[in-house]
Structure 1
């Protein structure tokens, strides 16, 4: 029996983080190993691994889509993969980790006991084990890393600032109207809330995004150049696009400097606290001012003007695209790309894509929950039970609630949820709905002025949910041992969670 410690983390730190932890725990138990999982979610780290647990561990598994500090695991065999791989095939990930984990070393680490070879940790060579390793390799090969991981690290740190700022702006509008920021309302509570939300919370959005992209690439020496580059992106008008570019330039430039600078041993301490932040900031700062800022600002202005001028067919097409992207991989790279696009536009006061993205992200689990209620003979008992949880996740804007259904029947479930989400996104854009808050699901809808055209926004969500359920009815066939569909009278008497 191997003793395993693991860390899971996803960009938003809400669903994938804990689903990956559960997948690893089940996988390790199925193979007869002991595992302890630390989750680095949106509320901070939970079940934090102690120094004693790490020291006693034979293996470390990192299932994360963001940067995780590995310094405390120096000397231990480490296997890194994505949260998606841990969710879909936790047992295969554990098996692959036992076979492929790479020992790590740290120059400053004190010599310790010999680390056991990973080969000694392998379970017996059975056909089932080989299959598990092959599945985990395939899942790992499909994982997007590198720039995507760095971008998602930045997004994960940025989201709390956007959420807090957006909610405070919405509350300011609720108290003082949409012109609460004008001088005639100065020193009122609404004016104060707007200053906090817009001029503090939203003002930090781009620097935080850029800073933690750079941090993901170059560790702590990249943080200052990245954040300063983000500040310059905001001041030059290049917004979130400039912030993303600044973050990558700062990160890669600082990492390159770190590898290239060779100092005498007694001066090496100057690199992380003086030379790398200074030179990295100089490079990204000059590039942002003289090369990048102006053209990216013009591009962002053109994009903003196009989005603000969209009417009818153009808005419909954008909504269709964003909606389908939100449902395609249910929290994966495509979903996060659409979400990041919408969140970035909030700083440019373009709110329609955010509304379309959140509604489309709520539609898949809600549509599946409704289908398990109306068409019981098309779902197993486990799926019908999972439908109850999917409803709660759906109203909370946690698209990952659809994953258990898609994993079991992807060829029917994924097209169905994509269709429903595309319809929801298109209708939201067509109705001109705007959302100033980037998360929260139905719980932010009652806030005055958080959503424009609230009635039509709810209509778009309901129609998309019905389309998803209807598509599932058409594509899925009744199961031989499943109960009959609920009678019409019984269905009408049951509350539908939406």
Structure 2
């Protein structure tokens, strides 16, 4: 029996985090291993690992799509993977973790316990490096998301009093708009940038990243500028830490003076004199193009967003579509956000309907899971479809994509817009939060029905044994 500890964390900290934890716990218990999993979700760390539990563990499993601080695991054997892998390939993840030879070192170098696997480890490291940039981006998005959701919902609430009611000073509508649009949406790019840099360089990257992101907002470089400033700040800070060495008596100046000063200076000058103007121009051109989009162009964009939202149900492709939509929302382009949320609601809703109309195609456990999927679907948690996709991917995933693609295309084709980046069906109850509400609801229902019908046709009946 092995003693295991693990951390799970996904960008939104809602579904994948807890599904990965559940999968690891179930497999470990079924195979006689002892495990404790710390979940770093949207409300903070739960079931936190103690230092004693870490010291007594045989191996540490990090199943995360965002930055996880590793200082407390110094000297421990560890294995890193994604939340999606922990959910879909739990057996392989646990087996690889138990065979892992990597030892974490706070010096920044991870040493191998066996030289025989050196070549394999180098190859794995190179594969990891190719996806590292995406992981840094998702870390920034995960910290930014609560701000975007809070700000977006407050903006949507200001529309209860009328689309332009916020323009009247001193009213509640104006106050809600100031909180959501004036404060939350103003700092969201800075938070995105700061935590991208934090993921790359840890704490030394945070100050230059935040300042660079605020500059991106001020010079109207927007979401794209924030991403650039975050990566720039992170790598500049990391370069300074690794290459500038002060005498021992002055080492304390590095984190509070040298790194923030030099990194912020470099990032600030680059943003003002090099990045600002061209990125601002790109943002404005993109905004004008999307706002002027109609007909087949709009439908095509909606179709692509819909397909991406359903492809991996909360995975990297889904998060890419959602992140782009949030960025456009911050720039005042609201139609893609409507398409993305509608298409993200469709997969679990379609599965729920399928379990109701084609009962002979699903077993008893799937009927219960279908009810849960329906609840998750109305809340815009696409991950509710994952258990079904894992069990029968060749039939389920195309069915989900078919319905979501239709929903995204219909939403954009009908000119639906959405002022909030999350909330599912509950946002639809806010007056004026969604334009063309009737057709928006129809788009979601149509996609869910198409998914349900496709599943009913493609899936084979359950044969009793």
TM-score over 0.5 (shorter chain): yes
Q: Where in structure 2 are the equivalents of 1:133-172 lying within 5 Å?
A: 145-172=131-158
Please list the CA deviations of residues 165-220 of structure 1 after superposition, one character each: whole Å capped at 9, or x if unmatched.
11111111213x222332xx211111111111111011011000000000000001
Between Structure 1 and Structure 2, how many residues are aligned?
454
Alignment of 1:55-454 (within 5 A): 55-106=55-106, 145-175=131-161, 177-182=162-167, 185-454=168-437
The Cα of 1:276 is off from its aligned counterpart by 1.0
Which residue of structure 1 aligns with residue 117 of structure 2?
A: none
The question of whether the paired residues in 2 share the 8 Å contact of 1:144 and 1:333 is answered with no
- After superposition, the C-alpha distances for 1:301-327 in whole angstroms (9 at most, x for unaligned) are 111001000111111000000000000
| TM-score, scaled relative to structure 1 | 0.88
Distance 1:101 1:189 in 2: 59
Q: Deviations over 1:67-119 (max 9, x none)?
A: 011111112112111001110122321211111141123369xxxxxxxx979
Secondary structure, aligned partner of 2:236: helix
Separation of aligned partners in 2, 1:156 and 1:23: 22
Q: Alpha carbon RMSD of aligned pairs, Å?
A: 2.0
- CA 247–408 in structure 1, closer or farther in 2 if over 3 Å, else same: same
C-alpha separation in 2, matches of 1:143 and 1:61: 19
**Shift of residue 56, structure 1, vs aligned partner:** 2.1
Q: Matched residue of 1:181: which SS?
A: helix
Give the C-alpha shift of residue 376 in structure 1.
1.3
- 1:222-267 CA-to-partner distances (Å, cap 9, x unmatched) read 0111111111111111100010011011111111111111222222
Residue 23 of structure 1 contacts residue 89 of structure 1 at CA under 8 Å; is this kept in 2?
no
Q: Deviations over 1:435-484 (max 9, x none)?
A: 111111111210112111111110000000011011112222223329xx
Q: CA–CA distance in 2 between the matches of 1:170 and 1:473? A: 37
Q: Deviations over 1:311-348 (max 9, x none)?
A: 11111000000000000011111100000000011111
Q: Distance in 1 between matches of 2:13 and 2:350?
A: 24
Deviates more, 1:17-26 or 1:29-38: 29-38
Deviates more, 1:71-80 or 1:154-163: 71-80
CA distance in 1, matches of 2:387, 2:393: 10
Question: 2 CA distance for matches of 1:212 and 1:271?
Answer: 20
Alpha-carbon distance in structure 2 between the residues aligned to 1:106 and 1:340: 32
Which of 361-370 and 267-276 deviates more?
A: 267-276
Equivalents in 2 of 1:285, 1:101: separation in Å? 42
1:128-149 Cα distance to aligned partner (Å, 9 max, x none): xxxxxx9xx99x9699730010
Q: Where do 5+ consecutive residues of structure 1 fail to align?
A: 109-116, 120-133, 483-498
Q: Distance in 1 between matches of 2:212 and 2:127?
A: 33
What is the DSSP-based 3-state SS (H/G/I as helix, E as strand, rest coil) of the residue aligned with 1:145?
helix
Distance 1:143 1:446 in 2: 44
| Unmatched tracts of structure 2, length 5 or more | 115-119
Contact 1:158 1:209 in 2 (8 A): yes
Residue 46 of structure 2 corresponds to which residue in structure 1? 46
2:173 and 2:274 mapped to 1: Cα distance? 39
Quote the Cα distance in structure 1 between the aligned partners of 2:216 and 2:296. 32
Q: Separation in 1 of the partners of 2:415 and 2:127?
A: 41
| Whole-Å separation in 2 of the counterparts to 1:287 and 1:418 | 41
TM-score (norm 2): 0.94
Cα distance in 2 for partners of 1:173, 1:403 equals 35
